[in-house]
Amino acid sequence: MPRAGLTSGAVVDAALALIDEEGPGALTLAAVAARTGVAAPSLYKHVRGLPELRKLVGLRVMDDMAARLGTAAMGKSRDEATAALMRAWRSYVVDFPHRYAVFPDNPLLDPDLVGTATRLLEVILAVLRGYGLEGSRALHATRCVRAAVHGFASLEAAGGFGLDEDLNTSYEMLIAMVVSSLPRAPAS
Amino acid sequence: MPRAGLTSGAVVDAALALIDEEGPGALTLAAVAARTGVAAPSLYKHVRGLPELRKLVGLRVMDDMAARLGTAAMGKSRDEATAALMRAWRSYVVDFPHRYAVFPDNPLLDPDLVGTATRLLEVILAVLRGYGLEGSRALHATRCVRAAVHGFASLEAAGGFGLDEDLNTSYEMLIAMVVSSLPRAPAS
DNA sequence: GACAAAAGCTACTGGCCATAGCTTTAAAGC
DNA sequence: GCTTTAAAGCTATGGCCAGTAGCTTTTGTC
C-alpha cells in the first residue's frame, strides 16, 4: 500500500476544494479523507481535529484576502485606494463564494489568527491614514468600512440579494457612499 | 405518564431559548427534546426535522425584527426614519446576540420565508420612498442600507470587532455616513 | 542492514438525526 | 358514561460522523 504523502497543507487544500465545490457544509473529516485517499483517522496525523482544520482553512482565506487587498491598494491613495480595496474585497467573494462563509468569526480573539487578522485590518488602516485619520477616528472609520464591505460580501455570498442582477451597480453605489462620507482631515 | 402538550410553537420557543443561552451551535433536536421534557423522536410530531426547525426559528427572528423595525420607523420620515430603523436593527442584535446568527441566509428564495422577508424589506423601501427614491435607484439604495446594517450587526453579533468599547460611537458614525450619502430626490 | 519516527490502518465508542412501529392519552360522538 | 380514533408520546434501531486506542508498515537515517 503506497503512502499518500499527506501534509497539513495538503489537507487544507482538499478542504478548500471541497468547500468550493460543495459549500461550507460539506466540510467533514470523512469527506476530506475520501478526497485525499486516506482513512478518516489518518487525518489526525496532520490536523488535530475538525475545529483545527476549520481554523486552518479560515487562516488561508484570510491570508489570501490580505494578499489581494494589499496588492490592490498598492500605489494608490485616498478615494482611489478605498475603491480599489473595496472592489478587491468583493472580487474575492465573487471568485470564491463559498469560501467567504468560512472566514473566521472572531479572528481578533484567537491567538493563532490575530496576526493575519491584524495584517488585514492594517491594510484598511493604511488607506485611512491617507485621509489623515488616526487613533480613535480611524478605528471607528475602519469599523464602518468593514461593516459596509463585509455586509455586502456576506449577503452576496449567501445569495441574499434575491436577483443577482445589477450587483455591480449596487456595489459601485456603496463604494461611492463610503468614499463620499468618510470623515477626512485636510490633505497635507 | 402525563402528556407534555407540545406544539410546533412551543418547540420553536425552546429552540430560541437554547440559542439565546448557549449559542446557535447548541441547537440540536436532542437538546430541544431534553428541554421540553420529551424523547427526541417525539419532536417529529411537531416539526419535520432539524432543517425545518431551523427554518421556523429563522422565521420567528425575521418576524420579531420586522415588528421592531416597523414600530421604530413609524411616524418618522427621511433621515430621522433611517436613523431609527438602523438603531432598531442593531438593538435587536444587542438584545439577542445569538439569534442574529440564525437569521436565514437567503429568505428571498424560500417560498416559506419570502413573505416575511419581503415585509422586512418593505420597511426599508418605505423609508427610502420618503426620499423620493423609486424603482431601480431604490433597489440599489436598499441593498446599500442592508449591507451596512447587516455587516455591522453580524460583526458585532459574532464579536468580530475586537474590543467592544465604543461600539455605539462607531454605529452612530455609520448611521451618519448612510444618512449623509443616501441619494435623494428633492423634497416634494 | 538495523532502527526509530512518522504515516497509515482497523476496531471501537459515543453523539446525533432520522425512521419504524407500538402504546397511551385525550377528545369527540353516541 | 362508554366507545372509538387520531394524535402524542414512547422504545428500538440504523446510519453517519468525530474522535481515541493501539497496531502495522513505510521510509529515511545512521
Rg (CA), chain A: 19
Substitution target from B103, B106, B175, B181 for chain A, most A beta carbons within 10 A: B181
Residue type, B26: A
pLDDT at residue number B3: 74
**Which residues fall within 8 angstroms of residue A33, CB to CB, at 6 or more apart?**
A39, A40, A42, A43
pTM of this prediction?
Answer: 0.93
Q: Which residues of B touch A147 (CB under 8 A)?
A: 148, 151-152, 155, 174
Q: Are B101 and B157 in contact (CB under 8 A)?
A: yes
Is the model's pLDDT at A143 over the cut of 90? yes
Instruction: In whole angstroms, give the CA distance from residue A142 to residue B65.
Output: 27
Q: A158 in contact with B at a CB cutoff of 8 Å?
A: yes
**Of B180, B117, B126, whose CA–CA distance to B148 is shortest?**
B180
Q: CA triplet B119, B29, B15: central angle to 5 degrees?
A: 40
The per-residue pLDDT for range A83-129, each reduced to its tens digit, is 999 999 999 999 999 999 999 999 999 999 999 999 999 999 999 99
Q: What's the confidence (pLDDT) of residue A5? A: 82
Please state, rounded to an integer, the average pLDDT across all residues of chain B: 94
C-alpha cell belonging to residue A104: 473566521
Measured in angstroms, the CA of B24 and the nearest CA of chain A are apart by 13
pLDDT at residue A176 in the model: 98
Residue B122 has pLDDT above 70, yes or no: yes
**How many angstroms separate the Cα of A132 from the Cα of each of A37, A78, A127?**
54, 10, 9
Classify residue A26 by its DSSP letter.
G
Sign of CA dihedral A98, A103, A15, A9: positive
Grid cell for residue A23: 459549500
The pLDDT confidence band at residue A3, using thresholds 50, 70 and 90, is: confident
pLDDT score of A82 more than 70: yes
Looking at the predicted structure, is the pLDDT value of residue A188 above 60?
Answer: no
